Structure formats: C-alpha cells, structure tokens
A and B are shown apart, each in its own frame.
Chain A
C-alpha cells in the first residue's frame, strides 16, 4: 500500500529531516509539505493525504489545533503531532484531538512504529 504523507512544519530543516526519515522507511510514498496550518488545510483538501505529521510549535495555529481541523476534514486520516515539548498537557491535548504524539527530534524507530500502526489500521477488514 502506497500512501501520501503531509509534513507540516514552519521550519524547512525540520521538514527535510522528517522527509529523510520517511524516505528511508518508505521511499515510494508520496511526500507533500506545508509551512503552516493554512497551507496544510489547503493541501489536504486538494490531495487528500492519508497521513499527516504535524509540528506543534508553529506561528499562528499550533499543531494540536491543526490536528483537530485535519481530523474534521478526514476522520480516517492518521495524524501525529511532533514536538520536543513533551509537557503532559500537550500530550493530553494531542491525544484528545485523536492524534499520536511523537517526540522531536523524530527518530526512524518512532516514525516506523506510527506508520506500521497506520498501515495495520488501513488494511481491508480492520476497523
């Protein structure tokens, strides 16, 4: 199964870094990028990615708010919020928005676990 992954981060470096980890795991998957929440919502409407990897601390709308809005656009989307800010409140809000929390800097291992769970969930016959 080849999926499309939306990477959202105001830092170009951070987007490149996530793209590198993703490219190492699933080189065939399509990667699209957005530098802020508005771009992310636009890209989602146009390209319907199955997975979104969203930075938490961005100017304007933060990653958790964006995650909730992406969830409203596509209830089946797999969303992870990525942050070095591992505060209990941030993690709780992330989970309440129906997203996974992945610590930054993102490791290939953490991303692999999240994507394996995503693939399992999307397999025919699973819920």
Chain B
C-alpha cells in the first residue's frame, strides 16, 4: 500500500463516525418499519483485499446469506450491502408486513419486500454520508442476491484492495440479526481522504 493510501488516526476516526451517523439513521428507519428497537454495534473499518473481505463475511455467517446491494458513484464509488442469513429473511418480512400472512404470501412478497427494505435502509445510510461530505452520490436501484460472501463481490478483482466497513445489527424481541457493509473502491480513497479532511475541518474548526 502506498503512503498516499493511508488514513491518519483522526481520518479513520472521522470515517467511522460518519458511517456511524449513516447507519444510525438507517437503524432509525428500520425500527420504524418493524416497530422494535434495533441494536447496533460500533462500526469497524479496515483496508483489505476483496478475498479477505469475503472471508470476513463467511466468518460472520457460514450459512447461505441474502444480500441487498446498491452501488454508488460520484466522487467516491463502491457498494453498500444489507446482509443477513437467508433463514432470517422470512422473519424480517413477517416483522415488516405483519404475522397474519401465509407462508405462500410471504414467498411471493419476499423479493420485493427485501429490495424495498434494502432501498430504504441503504439510501438512509448513503444519503446521510453524502450530505455530511457535502457531495452528491448517484445510487443504483437495489438488487437482491442469494448466496455466500463471494457472490456479493462477483464483479470485481479478488486481489484488489478495498475499504471495508461493517456494522452488526439486531432487531430486539425478534430473531433477526444481520449486518450492513460498505465496500469502497480504493481509487476513491484519495478523494475520500480530501472529503474527510474537509469534513473534519467543518466539524471541529481544525485542519485535519
């Protein structure tokens, strides 16, 4: 990794805080949808190869996963994902639309409900981050993928390094856990660093 791609401690701190803001607003929306409290972990931020990021996803849950992703581009580009074990997706939909639906109805609704939930949460997260950075991000439509960690990275190069950010969430009183992840292409990192420095300056009055 070249020196230009290293973030200072304060820049990493600011990035984590920024993601925290984004995910907290997504969690607020999710809790309104399911009418339960959503607990969040503290975000973790690391620079890893795509392979390592996939390994990390697998460690979290070896079973089949369902992921809703939206790609974003602008001054920074990457992918935001909402991921949970496939077995929990029915439980999530039941929490969203009510318990009275039959399994057949739920099956029918599944794709649409997952895409819409992903859309609300990922947009809440990304737009909070974009607004804090005072930048506009173009956000793609949500896509639902069933598979394991590797399927969520399909389009890119395994050796390529990415900025990987993830946060666990759990819906209280419901058996629903999952996580939000963000993968940022490293060519964006130089720009991200500039945006973060400007954000630090605005937030603290100090030059970062």
Contact = CB atoms under 8 A, between A and B. Distances in A.
Interface residues of A, number: 22
A50 interface: no
A84 B13 contact: no
11 contacts: A13-B203, A57-B20, A59-B42, A84-B25, A84-B128, A85-B28, A86-B25, A87-B31, A87-B38, A89-B36, A104-B24
Contacts of B28: 84-87
Interface string A77-107: 0000001111111100000000000001100
B52 interface: no
B154 to A, nearest CB: 32
Interface string B105-140: 000000000000000000000001000100000000
Contacts of A105: 21, 132, 203
A104 B19 CA distance: 13
Main secondary structure of the interface of B (DSSP, over half): helix
A83 B203 contact: no
Nearest first, the 5 closest Cβ-Cβ pairs linking A and B are A84-B24, A89-B37, A16-B204, A85-B24, A17-B203
Given A84-B20, A87-B28, A104-B21, A12 B40 contact: no
Contacts of A12: 9-10, 13
A16 B16 CA distance: 15
Contacts of A115: none
A13 B204 contact: yes
Interface of A: 10-14, 16-17, 19-20, 57-59, 83-90, 104-105
Nearest to B204: A16
Interface residues of B, number: 27
B160 interface: no
B13 to A, nearest CB: 5
Contacts of A14: 17
Contact of A58 (B42, B132, B204): B42
Given A84-B25, A84-B128, A90-B37, A16 B206 contact: yes
B95 to A, nearest CB: 15
A34 B204 CA distance: 17
Interface string B37-54: 110101000000000000
A13 B24 contact: no
Contacts of A85: 24-25, 27-28, 40
Contacts of A89: 31, 36-37, 172
Interface in B126-166: 128, 132
Contacts of B21: 84, 104-105
